[in-house]
Amino acid sequence: MIRSLLVLTLVIAAGPAARAEADDAALEARVREGAAAVQGKVVQWRRDIHQHPELGDQETRTSRLVADHLRGLGLEVRTGVGGTGVVGVLKGAKPGRTVALRADMDALPVQEPDGLPFASKAKQQYLGKDVPVMHACGHDAHTAMLMGVAEVLAGLKGELPGTVLFVFQPAEEGSSVVTPASGKTWGAARMLEEGAFKDPKPDAVFGLHVMPGALGQISYRAGATTASSDDLQILVTGKQGHGGMPWNTIDPITTSAQIILGLQTVVSRRADLTASPVVVTVGTINGGSRGNVVPETVSMAGTIRTYDDNVREKVVSGVKLAAEKIAEGAGAKADVRITKMYPPTMNDEALAARMRPVLRRAANGRVAEAPPSGATEDFSLFAQAAPGLYVFLGVTPRDQDPATAAPNHNPKFFVDESSLGVGTRTLASLAVAELSPAPDADKTQPHGQPFAPEER
């Protein structure tokens, strides 16, 4: 008792800054306790969502589960934001900033293998085709963890400064209803168009993604984190004829092969790879009806990934030029359509530096620098609307090597549920820390090496 009074006396004597620091530490401790208490619920929510996956723009059951939970916590809830999106608003009892936390809800058109007692048997329509559906990217875990964070922070409402937006987003993997060529929006873009970040506008936004990695480890990087994504469609038109007399044809198949190889010279000879990595991939090629017929057309689809806007523009123009001129040289024609999808996710450097000690405490010191990811994320759009920080959570079981574990989007992708408590604690801690930043927070230097060598 005497010791506690002595500590209290010292804190009071140290002034407002020390008292604020003590209050923040106490609130963070409450967050840790709350995350541990809700862990069992998070696991159950995750299993329920995993067993009932829904494709992008069809997440009606998932959004209803989320909205009902948020209403039960006493939050202001907006549904139908961006289609099936849900936004919950928690207003703390004290003045402060506004922070957004985002989780994506959609699954993938992937067949889940047998094994889990809560494995998916679901099927849905994907662009008009009946397909099996699975949470092969971990969005079930993201949604469950953010539901847990909402419960933790709602329980601390009386001590909480500022406002928290809980953003449950549809169609991160893309819409299952509309295509990029339609000109319509989905996911983060549509949520922003429909006011997800209006009234109130967040001062910062945080997101988290599960991935193969050391169990419970948080990894992140400042600056470019995930790649931009541009949808590539090429239609090569030649002249149909007999496969035994190709001199009477203009062969779009051989022309397409030349285009595919030529596109790689855009990467190796036209892109400045010292400035930013570049990937150009052709993922599908379709043409022809039988072996002795040269077809009239061949269609190809692919993706372009970059991490820098200037490099992105040069690569996009280079791909278009290369495809068109290679086709022209063969006497064919290439119709090239490139649709910009998502920009690169840029982690705000000052925010990342400011949150580093918070991440270390939340992950019990297990923090590492993440390499740039070749994946793409429409969290990038939220991070353009407010300073953003996007982090990764390792979910590989301890007895497996993360380097050989099945990756995201693989039907064997596996989430060790013991990691979910770390993710819940991390998101809640980030929100609490940013709601009432330290007086010198804006003076945080974003430069310099943010990771010690042993953390790499």
Residues annotated catalytic, as ranges = 342, 417
* Cα separations in angstroms, 392 against 77, 135, 343: 27, 17, 18
Nearest Cα residue to 321 out of 250, 253, 265? 265
Angle at 346 between CA 163 and CA 321, to 5 degrees: 140
Tokens encoding 52: 């009932």
Q: How far apart are CA 146 and CA 208, in angstroms?
A: 10
CA distance 188 to 169: 7
> How far lies 239's CA from each of 254, 260, 321, 328, in Å?
12, 19, 22, 13
Two structure tokens written together for 330: 């063969």
All residues at 6 or more sequence positions from 274 whose CB lies less than 8 Å from its CB, including other chains: none
Question: Can you say how many angstroms the Cα of residue 130 is from the centroid of all Cα atoms in its chain?
Answer: 26
Tokens of 103: 């989780």
> What is the dihedral sign for C-alpha 235, 381, 189, 127?
positive
Contact (Cβ atoms closer than 8 angstroms) between residue 58 and residue 130: no
Measured CA to CA, the distance from residue 154 to residue 175 in angstroms comes to 32
Paired tokens of 324: 């068109």
DSSP SS3 for 63: helix
96: nearest Cα among 153, 151, 143, 144: 153
- What's the DSSP call for residue 299? E
Which tokens is 97 given? Answer: 């900033």
Could you list the beta-strand ranges (E) of 143-255: 161-169, 204-211, 218-220, 223-227, 229-237, 241-242
**53 close to 116: Cβ distance less than 8 angstroms:** no
Cα of first residue to Cα of last residue in the chain, in angstroms, is 43
